[in-house]
Amino acid sequence: MYEGIRSPVIHAPKTLNEFNTTALRYPTARIWAGGTYIMSQKDYYPSDSKDAIIDLGGMEELKKITRNDRFVEIGSMVTASQLLYAGKLILPEILQETLETLASQIVRRQITIGGSLCVPDVRLSLSTTLAILDASAEFKFYQGGKVSNHWIPIARLYDKGGNLALGADKALMTRIRIGLDYGDYHKFVTVEDPIRNSDKCVIFAFQAKRTQNSLSKVQFCMNFPTKAFHMSKDIEAKLSSLTLPIHPERVNTISYELVAEIKKQHGTITELQLERGRRMFESVLHGLNSQTLQT
Ligand SMILES: Cc1cc2nc3c(=O)[nH]c(=O)nc-3n(C[C@H](O)[C@H](O)[C@H](O)COP(=O)(O)OP(=O)(O)OC[C@H]3O[C@@H](n4cnc5c(N)ncnc54)[C@H](O)[C@@H]3O)c2cc1C
């Protein structure tokens, strides 16, 4: 049954220079971080794929977390649990909340930041939150025997269906950078398990700044993991010009405007998911109102 099937060749670079040499020499080799997504694929093993693997596990340069007074930088091989452990004082609260929702403690020890953001076809929690925090990722691209370096905002890493949109060239994410000037109101909400029930799941991240009674710098992302990664400059701008508390009728109308926009841009989302998304959006705005009324 397994005739002709061989174990793949595994490369284990220790430095970026070694990775560069390997990536240029074996352009079809697959990057392996925590392996949790790769191992969950139907054709993972046994398979007759001849593609080699480049295991990033030995690359200490990709495991660093640094911070100055403007931003924090996180290596792509930092795991979700290392970040949670190290990050209590240095990370935006919404990022901590997001990390706490990922799978179980055991799986969080395996999931890496780079692996989570580079899953090709399903958009999950970290992408959603980092997109609204204006985070960027550094990539090395390998093309025509050359290596080039680019910083890409996380919000622009994916197409509107949520697929990783890096093009055909081999690319390595080395680190992400998160600015420390973020809003004072934020919410991260998930309905349903994004892995087991991705067709019913909605992931929503929201942040805004409040100055006296006005709202500014609203950013949100509504993510339907296998269908749509939705950000809306239009609705963000509408919300950013409102005074607080937002009239309940306006909360209601703007939530339906969001649904109409999502429906127009993404055909495959079910009514159940749309209604869930709408209610999450409304409840975040009502939460914002009630905090305003308490202060
Ligand atoms: C039981 C279970 C439950 C989970 N629940 C959740 C959840 O609720 N929410 C959530 O957000 N996630 C969840 N996850 C994690 C998620 O599904 C992915 O498995 C995980 O994010 C992948 O990370 P990894 O480090 O294991 O990457 P890998 O599986 O090693 O790689 C994933 C992809 O990214 C590419 N890649 C990896 N690193 C890089 C890099 N540095 N540069 C370029 N490409 C790279 C790989 O080639 C591969 O295509 C869960 C996982 C499991 C197993």
What ligand 1 atom has the least distance to the C-alpha of 139?
42
- Rounded to the nearest whole angstrom, what is the distance from the C-alpha of residue 171 to the centroid of ligand 1? 16
Give the binding-site residues of ligand 1, using a 6 Å CB cut-off.
30-38, 40, 76, 102-103, 107, 110-112, 114-116, 118-120, 124-126, 171-173, 194-195
- pLDDT confidence band for 50 (50 / 70 / 90): low
CA distance 203 to 86: 25
What pLDDT does residue 164 have? Answer: 96
| pLDDT tens digit sequence for 217-267 | 999 999 999 999 999 999 999 999 899 999 999 999 999 999 999 999 998
What pLDDT does residue 224 have? Answer: 97
Integer distance in angstroms from the first to the last C-alpha of the chain?
Answer: 68
- Per-residue pLDDT at 202 exceeds 90: yes
The answer for residues whose C-beta is within 8 angstroms of residue 86's C-beta and 6 or more apart is 65
- Rounded to the nearest whole angstrom, what is the distance from the C-alpha of residue 69 to the centroid of ligand 1? 30
Domain 1-182 matches domain 185-294 at the CATH topology level: no
Q: Please determine, looking at this structure, whether the domain spanning 185-294 carries the CATH number 3.30.390.50.
A: yes
Atom 28 of ligand 1: nearest residue by CA position: 35
- DSSP label at residue 276: H
- Rounded to the nearest whole angstrom, what is the distance from the C-alpha of residue 43 to the centroid of ligand 1? 16
Q: Which of 62, 118, 130 to mutate to test the pocket of ligand 1 (most atoms within 8 A of CB)?
A: 118
C-alpha to C-alpha distances, 56 to 19, 172, 243, 253, 289, nearest whole angstrom = 8, 10, 48, 48, 46
| pLDDT tens digit sequence for 83-100 | 998 877 788 999 999 999
Give buried/exposed letters for 254-285 (b at 16+ CB in 10 A, else e): bbeebbeebeeebeebeeebbebbbebbbebb
What ligand 1 atom has the least distance to the C-alpha of 120?
49
Q: Tell the burial category of 143 from Cβ atoms under 10 Å away from its Cβ (0-12, 13-18, 19+).
A: middle
Q: Determine the CATH number of domain 1-182.
A: 3.30.465.10
Per-domain residue ranges for the chain? 1-182, 185-294
Lowest mean pLDDT among 34-43, 179-188, 200-209, 270-279: 34-43
φ, ψ for residue 55 (rounded to 5)?
Answer: -85, 120
